Amino acid sequence: MSVTVAKTAGFCFGVRRAVDLAEQQAAHKGTIYAYGEIIHNSHEIQRLEKLGVHTAVTLEEIPCGAAVLIRAHGVPRAVYQLLQEKGCEIFDATCPFVRKIHEIVDRESKAGRMIVVFGSRNHPEVLGIQGWCTDSLVLQSEEEARQALKNPEFVRSPISVVAQTTVNRALWDISVSLIKKRCTNLKIFDTICKATDERQSEARLLAGASDRMIVIGDKKSSNTKRLYEISRSLCGDVICVEDAAGLRAQKLAHGQRVGITAGASTPAWIIKEVSNMMSEETKIENGEDFAAMLEESFKTLNTGEKVTGTVVAISSTDVQVDLGVKHTAYIPLSELSDDPAYDVNANIKPGEEIEAVVVRVNDGEGTVTLSKKRVDQLKGWETIEKAYEDHAVVEGIIIEENRGGVVATAFGVRVFIPASQTGVPKDQPMSQLVKTKQSFYITEINRQRKRVVGSIRQIQQEARKEAAEKIWATIEVGNDYEGTVKSLTSYGAFVDIGGVDGMVHISELSWGRVKHPSEVVSVGDKVKVFVIGLDKENKKISLGYKREEDNPWNIFKSQYAVGDVAEVKILKFMPFGAFAEIVPGVDGLIHISQIADHRIAKPEDALEIGQQVDAKIIDINDEKKKVSLSVRALLVGDDEYEDEE
């Protein structure tokens, strides 16, 4: 006799999670009430009852203030409200896939759409789904779908379709195909649990290759019924047993190919009871130990093992993953990525597959700790090594600064970039790079020591060299450039115009008097400059910063002429007169004889520093850039002033 056990046999993630939570809270609180049967398996219900998990068929059976477990099937919205009114402490073990259906039907119902649920009409999961919407219809078969489509009002209605998580895939596909052909305002949400699909698909393959199929599970379990129906359609000899006692009444013929599967509500201990009986049969036939074969199907995971699972839920501390084994698997958020800006909700969605590495297995607690970033690191090492060999550019995020430089993460691998290779000037902090994306070369790699060294500076040097070649190929006197002030000296400022540095002499920084370049520009400033001198042989560029249109003398000449009156500001006194600002950068002299209409000993007898006065422009010397002003001309009148002249 040959025996094949379905790898998907036994508890699904949702049921396992609910049972684990019930056991934990019962041990902690002594007693916990489950609203409805946690699991469709009478043997397991009895076992849990002994541990302090009491099943309440109605809400009236639950005392006020009691601890209450919401089973994996979920419940209507109203149940939460009633339990809260009773002051109960709620422990919600609703399967994440079922909770997702609740969210869908709640949203769609609020949008005014009818909800169609494919599933068993009186199944608790379906009743729970209906409790999250206002207008719903349950369809159990292809025939019911056909009947519904005969109703014109149904066909015209806005409809959103969901499925019970354990519904038969074939029924779903056929029924959805029928509805698609008739309904014009239709939204379809495939909510069949992936684990259910895999369990049913494996049962289908196993039944087709077996002489006899054994389905282990409670006859009340919807999942077990589906497996039985699938097996019956492909295998002529199918038996359904709830435990080992049911198998004793069956005779197994020698030479048979036997396939075994189990429903999602079948605990491992019942499957092992069956295995003990099967073990004796297989030992008699060919000396193989079926118990050992079955134990292999429950094989625990090993630290360092690479696994693939399905994301079930995302919490504030971890990501829950279904690996299809008896353990509950979690990825702590810290083990998702080294990127400090990593957005969990944007990158990971429930229902998606995820690769991870087993970090820790706790058989006592039935949990597995996983790490996604270690998988990324394994893949990343290959990418980093190839980039090193090809001298290719790598992009990464700078995650920290240390005494010797900064650390970047690229493809999940930490890359050390020495201070001298960061491209940051010595007088500036390297912390400015933290949390920024940078490009760099891999300059050293040692996988055994897990050491990788990179250089941002090499990238910058190559880019600067390429830019410099373009500059020197096109530069001419008069060319305008936008550059960055790199450094200041007492005689000028050096400006990077895109790979090449040019110098702006202090005399070219401003039309006014400047003692130091820092009065006009600062390091890091973006400035517009133009080429005023060029020495290609010695690679020297002279730049101008002040522009002719900004020349104060030109501005003055464009606004005033001899004979005009200007409001001027008294700046300083001299024995022979007072200097006054006409426009910024252009001063005029008011001779002492032109300050008042009477004789004064000194300018300050009639004027004050900072005083604003009106003065007549009586002379402009373009060659010497000098202006003569008169206050007296305005006091005595033009005729008298001209007579005096």
Q: Choosing from 37, 108, 125, 508, which is the catalytic residue?
A: 125
Instruction: Please say if 353 is a catalytic residue.
Output: no
At CA 551, angle to CA 547 and CA 557, rounded to 5? 140
Two structure tokens written together for 501: 């540095």
Two structure tokens written together for 196: 């259910």
Q: SS3 of 191, please?
A: coil
Antiparallel, parallel or unpaired: β 501-505 and 480-489: unpaired
Q: Check the CA dihedral 388-391-396-400 and report its sign.
A: positive
Q: Which residues pair with 572 in a beta bridge?
A: 579
Q: Which residues pair with 89 in a beta bridge?
A: 67
Two structure tokens written together for 588: 């005029």
Residue 312 burial by Cβ neighbours in a 10 Å radius (0-12, 13-18, 19+):
buried
Cα–Cα distances in angstroms (integers) from residue 276 to residues 283, 291, 485, in the given order: 11, 6, 83
Residue 333 burial by Cβ neighbours in a 10 Å radius (0-12, 13-18, 19+):
middle
How many CB atoms neighbour CB 212 within 10 A? 21
Helix (H) or strand (E) holding 452: strand 451-455
Two structure tokens written together for 5: 């056990």
Q: Check the CA dihedral 46-214-94-17 and report its sign.
A: positive
Cα–Cα distances in angstroms (integers) from residue 202 to residues 7, 48, 285, 291, in the given order: 8, 30, 26, 21
What is the spatial order of strands in the sheet that 67-70 belongs to?
53-56, 32-35, 67-70, 89-92
Q: What is the DSSP string of 8-55?
A: T-S--HHHHHHHHHHHHHHHHHS-EEEES-SSS-HHHHHHHHHHTEEE
Catalogue the active-site residues. 125
